[in-house]
Structure 1
Amino acid sequence: MNGSPGSSGGPAGLGLYALKPWYARRLSGVRGALARRAVSPDALTAAGVVCAAGAAAALAWLPAPLAALPVALLLLARLACANLDGALARDTGRSTRRGALVNELGDRVADLAVLAGFLPLAPLWLVAAAALAATLPSWVSLAGAAAGAPRLNGGPVGKTERCALVIVAAASGWAVPVLAVIAVGSALTAAVRCARLWGELGSR
């Protein structure tokens, strides 16, 4: 989610991102409670980063499958924060350009923090490759939005799918295969988004 105006726009995309409207409805009561308590959207963005770091710590320090439950709960909380921060900003009239910047930086830091949990479990080069690839879809979407296209989200391996794959690694101990899927899938997702944007912008 984005803390800026227009952040809710753009196609839903492929993959688990299509469940976002359903998930947002489940969180509507929480969003209302946060609005009544005047919670800052930026605080939710920061909470998402903390949850991501906690998931990374659980992944790194707990053996599989004991890591699965805490990793899953913390990543669900991280996704909830990502959903709530922008929605809360819009609901309370606090959408700002600075909020958009904080949101984007928070999302990227959270993505990298989660993958840092693989550092004790897999070769450094593979963790670095997965981390780099995981940022590519967002950079493509941001470039498209800067050019005037709708913001693209979703898979085949977007943020939600990456979280699901990390949970698989926490449950199974398959760190190397999961990182390989994240790296290849994220690069594929960036390519899919780029192709969609190329077609969208070419018609303008």
Structure 2
Amino acid sequence: MASIYQLKPAFQRLLRPLVRTLARSGVTANRVTVAAVVLAFAVGAALFLCAGHRVLLLLPLALFVRMALNAIDGMLAREHGQASKLGAILNELGDVVADAAMYLPLALRPEFPAVPLVVLVVLAIVVEMIGVVGVQIGASRRYDGPFGKSDRAFMFGALGLVLGLGAPSGAWLGWLLWTLVGFSVLTIVNRARHALAEVGAKEGNA
């Protein structure tokens, strides 16, 4: 199913000149990965500590920067010979930790209903875990939609923008979050199904 992740190649083309400059300057992929996690914790702390809806405007800005950092670290690893086992661990673990650090503090804010938000964050961890499990069973790392990491970032960024500009929260937000919970469950099923189908196709061709 369609996902914002499919726009990643076009985004990478825009970032490639910057990535070349960073590589020449000695910036490493692992440092960029860690920077993305530090950014997530800083924004999460601000969301927890700062009252008032304006702080939610940090979300779209920070999520865009984090998305760029995630693309940059991958390009540095693949295109500039910086791939490593440590980098693979940092990349997968960093995504999950950064999501939790940035999104869970929203459950303590008055604008967001806590229960669906926490369920959504927990399922986000499962979504990424299923993607990695595909590799363990002999498939590729699965990025199937409809609600992967990039889609979550877009949705939370949009909510931060709308609520940060003063739109009233209400029952609509709870319904939206539960809908996204449903999309997350569908994403888990899709990733597992496609991983199994990929393995089955390989075994059939063996």
Q: Which TM-score band (shorter chain)?
A: 0.7 to 0.9
Question: Structure 1's 177 and 49: CA in aligned 2 closer, same or farther, altered over 3 A?
Answer: farther
Q: Identify the match of residue 198 of structure 2 among 187, 197, 200.
A: 200
TM-score of the pair, normalised by structure 2: 0.82
Which structure features the higher share of helix residues?
A: 2
- State the aligned residue count: 191
CA distance in 2 between counterparts of 1:177 and 1:30 reads 40
**Partner residue, 1:4:** none
Q: For 1:52-86, what per-residue CA distance to the aligned partner results, in whole angstroms no more than 9, with x for missing partners?
A: 2344345453644x345422111011111111112
Query: What do you get for the CA RMSD once the two structures are aligned?
Result: 2.1
Task: Tell me: CA distance 1:176–1:193, structure 2 relative to 1, closer, same or farther (3 Å).
Answer: same
Q: 4+ residue stretches of structure 1 with deviation over 6 A?
A: none
Per the alignment, in what secondary structure is the counterpart of residue 27 of structure 2?
coil
Contact 1:136 / 1:190 at 8 angstroms: preserved in 2? Answer: yes
For residue 117 of structure 1, give the secondary structure of its aligned residue in structure 2: helix
Cα 1:67–1:179 change in 2 (3 A) is: farther
What is the TM-score with the length of structure 1 in the denominator?
0.83
C-alpha separation in 1, matches of 2:123 and 2:91: 20
Unaligned runs of 5+ in 1: 1-12
Cα distance, 1:24 vs structure 2: 0.3
Identity rate, percent = 30
Mind listing any 5+ residue stretches in structure 2 that lack a counterpart? 164-168
1:131-178 deviation digits (Å, cap 9, x = unpaired): 110112211111111112122214211111111111232133445344
In 2, the alpha carbon distance for the partners of 1:110 and 1:191 equals: 23
Offset of 1:37 from its aligned partner?
A: 1.0
Match of 2:68 among 54, 77, 80: 80
2:34 aligned with 1:16, yes or no?
A: no
